[in-house]
Amino acid sequence: RKEVEQDPGPFNVPEGATVAFNCTYSNSASQSFFWYRQDCRKEPKLLMSVYSSGNEDGRFTAQLNRASQYISLLIRDSKLSDSATYLCVVNEAGKSTFGDGTTLTVKP
């Protein structure tokens, strides 16, 4: 079993839809969590950190469920420009583990 697992998708949604991704992790000692966005043939860029209390940035909401060991990313009112691969990152004892990513395609 991988340390960090994501549904690879692809998720194909119409503009304006709400879409949610989950990322499960196996190490209960994991300490910090992030979501990155990666466009095709580009470097990953930080989208948002994930806090225990949950956090929101505009149309994006990230949540952490320590009991079930997963983090989630919710995108509301999807835009064409949201099409990308979303990577989750889990840190534990100084080590960062990346998921393989979930691909989102938003269509007109």
Partner 1 sequence: DGGITQSPKYLFRKEGQNVTLSCEQNLNHDAMYWYRQDPGQGLRLIYYSQIVNDFQKGDIAEGYSVSREKKESFPLTVTSAQKNPTAFYLCASSIQQAETQYFGPGTRLLVL
Q: Which is nearer to partner 1, 35 or 82 (CB)?
A: 35
Contact assessment for residue 34 and residue 49, using Cβ atoms and an 8 Å cutoff? yes
Q: Which of residues 72-91 bind partner 1 (CB under 8 A)?
A: 87, 89, 91
Shortest Å, Cβ 88 to partner 1 = 10
Question: Which one among 9, 17, 27, 49 touches partner 1, defined by CB under 8 A?
Answer: 49
The footprint of partner 1 on this chain (CB under 8 A) covers a number of residues equal to: 22
Question: Which one among 12, 18, 26, 32 touches partner 1, defined by CB under 8 A?
Answer: 32
The continuous run of DSSP H or E covering 46 comes out as: strand 44-50
Q: Per rule CB under 8 A, is residue 7 in the interface with partner 1? A: no
Phi, psi for 92 (deg, rounded to 5): -150, 125
The continuous run of DSSP H or E covering 88 comes out as: strand 84-92
Question: Which one among 24, 99, 104, 106 touches partner 1, defined by CB under 8 A?
Answer: 99
Phi, psi for 21 (deg, rounded to 5): -120, 145
CA 77 to chain centroid, in Å, comes to: 16
Question: Which one among 15, 18, 26, 45 touches partner 1, defined by CB under 8 A?
Answer: 45
